[in-house]
Amino acid sequence: MNYRISQRAATLSPSLTLAIDSKAKAMKAAGEDVVGFGAGEPDFDTPQHIKDACAQALADGFTKYTPAAGIPELRQAIADKFQRENGLTYKPSQIIVSCGGKHSCYNVILATCQEGDEVIIPAPYWLSYPEMVKLAGATPVILPTSDQTEFKVSPGQLRAAITPRTRLFVLNSPSNPTGSVYTPDEIKALGDVCVEKGVLIMSDEIYEHLLYDGAVHKSVASFSQAHYDHTIIVHGFAKAWSMTGWRLGFLAAPEPVARAIDAIQSHSTSNPTSFAQKGAVAALTGSQEHLPKWLAEYAKRRTYAWKKLNSIPGISCVNSKGAFYLFPNISKLGLSSTEFCSRLLEQEKVAAVPGIAFGADDYLRISYATSLANIEKGLDRLEKFVKGLAQ
């Protein structure tokens, strides 16, 4: 049998973050004392009232198909969230609930991009964006940035990259993997360029609530009617409510795009899990008391890790302003990020993700969604590893 794999699937690169993660997990399972900085998810449990709402829905027999785009109650709660927190007016029909924020991104790209289209993605990027663009048959156009600009693209850089084929600009603030946050003025300026050039924006705002040092989040959709008309917001429950395993994301889009995505979803996944959606309603309408506690904890870890990283000779690190990642520069140490990370894992049993996975080989991604004790232990080992390199 000739198992010819489709060109579409064959062009994909497997997820490097998941590969390192599974190696670290295998070492752990074999009894080794591995410190993991690879996690792309909060280390906190889902708040109890959210779990209770889900359990109640199960007990009530809420176990059947729902509308493909989500239950009306949840789409309304999401529309209310955008009004309350972002000053953005969406009808429930403009909201689509999907099986994770990742699925929402994929739906957006599939609904708006096709062969011949270009999609502009600033690097370092969340590693799934370029692969999703390839799956849609379109071409990713990567805009490199560095720690010199806090990993931000300038409006001039964006403008220069736009061609008649450019369809979509991917904006992710706060950023995974860098923790960088654009200021409202910077966001507006990038939005202005897209509006002027008729380019759609996919704004991935899943880390909206995870901000430090007084950083503020402003959605690009909120600057004018034109900005709103050019923007599709992607969001989800994974990060601010620690619901990664629930697989629930959402998006807000202009009507024609939302309709197209509803159709795609109705023929692919159908609805996200019925009883999980009831948990999501509780997440949006119930207490948000967990969040300040989590933020205080993340902030403590971030400050410790940032100072410690900068104290290691050869490493420099800009502080993150959002999400739960630091992205230290290791270019002075003479190893590729892949070699650095695999030797670090083998010699010191510390798992970090090589920057090359995010399109930036001079860096590592360190997640501080792990306990302060782990961070102390892991960074002590990292320091030992780096000092060993110098000899």
Interface with ligand PLP, residue 38, by CB under 6 A = no
Using DSSP's 3-state secondary structure scheme, residue 329 falls into: strand
Per-position x/- string for 248-277, each x denoting binding to ligand PLP as judged by CB under 6 A, each - no binding: -x----------------------------
Give residues 285-344 in contact with ligand PLP (rule: CB under 6 A): none
In the complex, what is the shortest distance from the CB of residue 251 to ligand PLP, in angstroms, rounded to a whole number?
Answer: 11
Q: Hey, what are 11's tokens?
A: 């062009």
Identify the bridge partners of residue 98 per DSSP, sorted by sequence position: 249
Give residues 63-122 in contact with ligand PLP (rule: CB under 6 A): 100-102
Q: Which spans in 231-317 are helix H?
A: 255-267, 274-285, 290-311
Q: Decide whether 24 or 121 has the Cβ nearer to ligand PLP.
A: 121
Helix, strand, coil share of the chain (percent; to 5) = 50, 15, 40
**Beta-carbon contacts of residue 150 (< 8 Å; ≥ 6 apart):** 178, 180, 318
In the complex, what is the shortest distance from the CB of residue 87 to ligand PLP, in angstroms, rounded to a whole number?
Answer: 23
Q: Decide whether 324 or 385 has the Cβ nearer to ligand PLP.
A: 324
Give residues 126-155 in contact with ligand PLP (rule: CB under 6 A): 126
Other CB atoms within a 10 A radius of the CB of residue 320 amount to: 30
Residue 113 Cα distances to 106, 143, 151, 255, 257, angstroms? 10, 18, 26, 17, 11
Q: Decide whether 320 or 331 has the Cβ nearer to ligand PLP.
A: 320
Instruction: Look at residues 229, 323, 281 and name the one whose alpha carbon lies nearest to residue 40.
Output: 323
Member of 206, 210, 281, 350 binding ligand PLP (CB under 6 A): 206
Interface with ligand PLP, residue 208, by CB under 6 A = no
**Count of chain residues binding ligand PLP (CB under 6 A):** 14
Member of 42, 236, 322, 359 binding ligand PLP (CB under 6 A): 236
Q: What is the C-alpha to C-alpha distance for residues 348 and 34, in angstroms, rounded to an integer?
A: 8
In the complex, what is the shortest distance from the CB of residue 241 to ligand PLP, in angstroms, rounded to a whole number?
Answer: 10
Interface with ligand PLP, residue 179, by CB under 6 A = no
Interface with ligand PLP, residue 171, by CB under 6 A = no
Residue 65 Cα distances to 78, 145, 266, angstroms? 20, 44, 11
Interface with ligand PLP, residue 359, by CB under 6 A = no
**Interface with ligand PLP by CB under 6 A: which residues?**
40, 100-102, 126, 172, 176, 204, 206, 236, 238-239, 244, 249
